[in-house]
Amino acid sequence: MKLYNQITPIFLRFFTFSLFLSLPLLLLFSLKTTNTATITTTPNPGIRIRPGYTTYDTYIKKQLNKTLNPKLRHLWTTRDWDRKIRVFSSFFSQLKNSSLLSNSSKALCIGARVGQEVEALRRVGVSDSIGIDLVPCPPLVIHGDFHKQPFKDESFDFEFSNVFDHALYPQKFVREIERTLKPGGVCVLHVAITTRSDKYSANDLLGVDALVKLFKRSDLVWVKKVDGFGLDTEVIFRKKKKKLID
Ligand SMILES: *[C@@H]1O[C@H](CO)[C@@H](O)[C@H](O)[C@H]1NC(C)=O
Ligand SMILES: *[C@@H]1O[C@H](CO)[C@@H](O)[C@H](O)[C@H]1NC(C)=O
Ligand SMILES: *[C@@H]1O[C@H](CO)[C@@H](O)[C@H](O)[C@H]1NC(C)=O
């Protein structure tokens, strides 16, 4: 009885202590859950997140639905293949002429589907180029989520994407680009200002300013009209050479 009385307080104390220790972990876990389960980013009135994505899983499933569509994949690799490579090649050779891209650039295409833009980069002489998408398409495209790029910091000289509108977390999309670009690296985005009539879009960009606001570690190089498969605006950033503490 005496022993029992002694053990109980010790046990209780230990229990309370371990609960106290695990509180920060519990808090962290609940924050993490909130972060992926609901759509809450820093308010940016120039970017409207489309409703209907209750969890990250429903978002990914919807994106996969388009990427895996066999009819679309067939079109992308047949009817669209040469036409798109020709247009992308002309964009990229213009960027080479403006010294924003060179044969020795290490280049990434984000959300590259079957990899037409990667093929275009290689054809204009940028041999060290690769694409990422939720579904890999070897040898041009490997598996990767643009919200969490599978690359180390400062891996690329050049990144291109025309799927900004598919980002559920535009801030993360941009943060990952700025993380994986080398200082002085160039990011080229083709976007639609106003609404893109794609039911798979996750956000609508209402103006270029909203995009510029997201690129905290870069300078704006130019904004220019393009005709890029339903996307009307080319926005180019260069990551600052001097690292900022932000
Ligand atoms: C995509 O969704 C449609 C209808 O919502 C469904 O019929 C189709 O099987 C889905 N495709 C894939 C590849 O998940
Ligand atoms: C880039 O420069 C080359 C050589 O000066 C020229 O032939 C080509 O038309 C230019 N490409 C574009 C897209 O401006
Ligand atoms: C870049 O690569 C292209 C295609 O292979 C080649 O024609 C061109 O001469 C190269 N440019 C330089 C500066 O090496």
Which residue ranges make up each domain of the chain? Answer: 1-36, 47-239
Confidence at residue 19, expressed as pLDDT on a 0 to 100 scale:
46
Centroid of ligand 2 to alpha carbon of 90 (angstroms): 9
Residues 6+ apart with CB under 8 A from 227: none
| CA dist., res. 136 & res. 73, Å (int) | 12
Which of the four pLDDT bands, split at 50, 70 and 90, describes residue 195? low
Closest residue by Cα to atom 14, ligand 1, is 65
Helix (H, G, I), strand (E, B) or coil at 192: coil
Confidence at residue 2, expressed as pLDDT on a 0 to 100 scale:
46
Confidence at residue 81, expressed as pLDDT on a 0 to 100 scale:
96
DSSP 3-state percent helix, strand, coil across the chain (nearest 5): 40, 25, 35
User: What mean pLDDT, rounded, does the chain reach?
Assistant: 86
The set of protein residues with a Cβ atom below 6 angstroms from ligand 2 is 90, 93-94, 97
Given a cut of 90, whether residue 74 has pLDDT beyond it is: yes
| CA dist., res. 131 & res. 139, Å (int) | 9
Which of the four pLDDT bands, split at 50, 70 and 90, describes residue 198? confident
Ligand nearest to the CA of 93: 2
The region that residue 33 occupies, defined by phi over 0 for left and psi between -120 and 50 for alpha, beta otherwise, is alpha
Mean of the pLDDT values across residues 146-170?
97
CB 146: neighbour CB atoms within 10 A? 23
Q: What's domain 47-239's architecture? A: 3-Layer(aba) Sandwich (3.40)
Centroid of ligand 2 to alpha carbon of 26 (angstroms): 58
pTM above 0.85, yes or no: no
Q: Which residues of 228-246 are buried (b: 16+ CB within 10 A; e: fewer)?
A: beebebbbbbbbeeeeeee
The set of protein residues with a Cβ atom below 6 angstroms from ligand 1 is 65, 68-69
